[in-house]
Amino acid sequence: MRILGIETSCDETAAAVLESPLRVRSSVVASQIADHQPFGGVVPELAAREHVKALPTVLSTAVAESGLGWEDLDGIAVTRGPGLAGCLLSGLTAARALAMRLDVPCYPVHHMEGHLLSLFLSGESPEVESLCPALLLLVTGGHTALVRMEGPGRYQVLGRSIDDAAGEALDKGARVLGLSYPGGPEIEKLAATSVDGEVAFPLGLPSGEEARKRGGDFPFSFSGLKTALRYHVEREPEGDRAEVARAYQAAVMGTLARRMEQALEVYDDWKCAACVGGVAKNGLLRSELERIASRRHLSVRTVPLSYCTDNGAMIAAVPLLRAVEPLAAPVGAEPNLPLMGVRLR
């Protein structure tokens, strides 16, 4: 089976052609980062218009680079939600029109499930049985969750953030530090120029009944950290920004790593651990995970950097890895789509 995957939920216009057994034949990502940078964040209306402009080229390039023709496609997969309404709608409309024209099914995909299944998108041919149960840290711009994956379609959320997502904390923190959007890579670059220092921020590990009710057994919290950063910068406006960036990044990644470590201890049948989503590109987070897992002789699955941030390959992977009901009638975008009844935030 050959599937064209389309992703337009935020600021990347992306398409990819995948086939089963799972193999990426092509993957094209047109980033809008430069368009939004002057505004310090994603402008929804601008993003939706840019998707409409970019889609024809991104789609035809993905098909051309796959070495296949349009007629070779067996289905179209598209992000239905969560995401920005206008952005989702541009991808969804293109996908439905294409599916109708090619007379193939159109599969609606949950963006976060795409991120989870990016686990299977690395070079070697992945055996589901050899990787699951997998402990996945899902870290994107809008979501932070710890997920136990028994296999494609079988997810248990062990913990989630009770306020901001880790990516959001990095993006907002970057603004406080006078860095540009997106904040994660900017903070990582600046932090790399500082070796050590006195500055330290607390980890975001809430406890108690209320935190468990809202965040599960492994709750995260990042809004206090962001406030601590703001106070610090106000108190010491002339302080070394690189040192502050290093400490802030250490607190975000330290929080994520600590929860992963705790979740690894609770179950003893893990086959692998991995980070997925844009924040999984972070070098410090990757090395922390290596450290934690190696202590338990557990293998770490590294998702290629290009499949951490938003891409079409992870969307096409979903209907290739599990049965997805195709769209029967026109549907709207779902900005707050739940994942198979599971609340991610």
Which residues sit at the interface with ligand KG4, rule CB under 6 A? 10, 140-142, 167, 170-171, 182-185, 188, 277-279, 281-282, 309-310
Amino acid letter, residue 164: D
CA 174 to chain centre: 19
Residue 184's binding partner, choosing from ligand KG4, Zn ion, none, with beta-carbon cut-off 5 to 8 A by kind?
Answer: ligand KG4
Backbone angles phi, psi at 344, to 5 degrees: -95, -20
Q: Which is nearer to ligand KG4, 141 or 216 (CB)?
A: 141
> In the numeric block, which tokens belong to residue 286?
């990757």
Q: Which is nearer to Zn ion, 90 or 140 (CB)?
A: 140
Q: Which is nearer to ligand KG4, 113 or 243 (CB)?
A: 113
**Closest approach of Cβ 221 to ligand KG4, in Å?**
17
Residue 13's binding partner, choosing from Zn ion, ligand KG4, none, with beta-carbon cut-off 5 to 8 A by kind?
Answer: none
Question: Tokens 């590109």 sit at which residue?
Answer: 281
Cα(297)–Cα(295) distance, rounded to whole angstroms? 6
Helix (H) or strand (E) holding 23: strand 23-31
Residue 170's binding partner, choosing from ligand KG4, Zn ion, none, with beta-carbon cut-off 5 to 8 A by kind?
Answer: ligand KG4
Show Cβ contacts of residue 97 under 8 Å, excluding neighbours closer than 6 positions. none
**Closest approach of Cβ 213 to ligand KG4, in Å?**
25
Residue 282's binding partner, choosing from Zn ion, ligand KG4, none, with beta-carbon cut-off 5 to 8 A by kind?
Answer: ligand KG4
Q: Which is nearer to Zn ion, 19 or 310 (CB)?
A: 310
What residue ranges bind Zn ion (CB under 5 A)?
Answer: 140, 310
Q: Which is nearer to ligand KG4, 167 or 254 (CB)?
A: 167
Q: What is the DSSP string of 277-313?
A: SGGGG-HHHHHHHHHHHHHTT-EEPPPPGGGTSS-SH
